[in-house]
Amino acid sequence: MNLPMLGNIIAITVYLGGMLLLGFRYTKASNSADEFYLGGRSLGPYVTAMSAEASDMSSWLLMGLPGLAYASGICSAFWTAAGLALGTYLNWLLVAKRLRHYSAVAKDSVTVPDFFEHRFHDHSHLLMGLSALVIVIFFIPYTASGFAACGKLFSSLFGVNYVAAMIVSAVVIVAYTAMGGFLAASTTDFVQSIVMSVALVVILVFSLMQAGGVGPVVDYVSGLEGFVSLTQTHQAAGAEPYGALAIVSTLAWGLGYFGMPHIMLRFMGIEDPSKLKVSRRVGTLWVVIAMAVAVLLGVLGLSMVHAGAIEGVGDSERILIAIAGRLSSFGFLPALLAGVVMAGILACTMSTCDSQLLAASSSVSENILHGVLGLNVSKKASMVVARGTLVVISAIGVFMARDPASSVFGIVSFAWAGFGGAFGAVVLCALFWRRANRWGALAGMIGGGVMVFVWKFALRPLGGLWDIYELLPAFLTSLLLIVVVSLLTPAPGKEITEEFDAVKAMQ
């Protein structure tokens, strides 16, 4: 084994070992369903902020976004990042504090399906069952895509078997999440956000030096047709227009935040709601800086290819791996830093996987088995079921990702649309519209979820005006159905409206 590879392995091993230690630390603090799934509402403002954003970013931050800028310039990457930054800020501003208060008032709800049922006093369990099913449908393949990303990273770095690499990654993620539950996932996500930040700084400085500095980079990319435009994309055959419809469609990514269960759980789990303003500022600032640096890294990667520092990559999403490989070639200490970069890519993926596993597990064990089917078990048995469900869901995810050609980012995009379409408008109406009722919520959840599939597979392939990211029409369909159906059915009862007014008074 050569020294550069040894440096990579040491850095990644230390990182993975640290995640396991954190999971073990919180094992004793997760002895009930409330503690396992929501940490007893004990998160501090900084852990809330950074764990929410780390669990959001996934490997898209250090692979997808730089790859997009590398392949087609800053236009599409910029508008995607702008939509996500705006969605992040509005989610913290509008949803976080009110959801924290409302989830406590609504029978101290510890999962998102719990909140939907208790907010609308749905004694039929239809809302709980349907929302739990939506979470399982979209989170299992989402988790599988994360396992696949880990497997591809390790197999491309060290030449090991893809399936073996994926299973090792999955075992580490499952181990610390199953041991420590919500607190372990949140704390490791906080640490992983720091690892991501270090990785971004290291690779930014190195790639800028290797590309020759600011001047040569600006001169080179300015000469590429459409590369630095916000209304054109750069293609091998020349610039292509990126019109208003494409911009609106891309900005719609931000709507997905209102329906993300793993982010809503962070809002529900904060200890002191009055400190959410700190969380909002920290989280939003980190997201904006991280995405800006990620876009810049794609630009610098292309400039490094032009300068002869690295060879071009066939898969644009592997550009950071190529840059880290170049860093490793300078010796043992640089290879350690390159290992930190690789750990940063792992952190992006793992911080999302653990949160998704927890949300999917809670939907099965707490909401479907206990809430809908009415299976009452002891506290000890409940924890066995919770951890066992997490392991089973992980095994299904590993099975789904067993093919090295498994799609990663297409699944992420579709699952993001699924949650935003099914839950986004329902969450906003539940929090801000007094007249919303359970029939409207059910109609919105079903209509938005179905529209994601219809638009994605039946309408969007038609092209032209139909070529819109499926999240936007799904969100609007859901919102329309909630309003129309709520107005056509009986108004909420006095107890429901009194709870709504009580929460409103807390703001």
Better pLDDT: 29 or 106 = 106
Which residues, in sequence order, are CB contacts of 423 under 8 Å at separation 6+?
A: 112, 131, 134, 258, 259, 260, 261, 445, 448
Torsion of CA 45, 296, 344, 402, to 10 degrees: 120
List residues bridging with 233 in a β-sheet. Answer: 240
Whole-number average pLDDT of the chain = 85
Better pLDDT: 278 or 476 = 476
Q: Band the pLDDT of 351: cuts 50, 70, 90.
A: low
Confidence (pLDDT) at 9: 80
**Which residue from 300, 329, 411, 338 is spatially nearest to 67, judged by alpha carbons?**
300
Q: Band the pLDDT of 205: cuts 50, 70, 90.
A: very high
> Could you tell me how far CA 292 lies from the centroid of its own chain?
17
pLDDT over threshold 90, residue 180: no
> Could you tell me how far CA 284 lies from the centroid of its own chain?
14
**Which residue from 71, 75, 66, 63 is spatially nearest to 314, judged by alpha carbons?**
71
Q: Band the pLDDT of 70: cuts 50, 70, 90.
A: very high
List residues bridging with 270 in a β-sheet. Answer: 43
Better pLDDT: 144 or 438 = 438
* CB 228, CB 235: distance < 8 Å: no
pLDDT over threshold 80, residue 364: no
pLDDT in tens, 451-503: 999 999 999 999 888 999 999 999 999 999 999 999 999 999 999 999 999 99
The whole-number average pLDDT for the span 61-69 is 85
The whole-number average pLDDT for the span 99-126 is 93
Q: Give the range among 11-15, 32-36, 401-405, 470-474 with minimum mean pLDDT.
A: 32-36
Confidence (pLDDT) at 345: 75
pLDDT over threshold 80, residue 216: yes
Q: Rounded CA gap, 315 and 329, in Å? A: 21
pLDDT in tens, 38-58: 555 666 777 777 777 766 666
pTM: 0.86
Confidence (pLDDT) at 377: 64
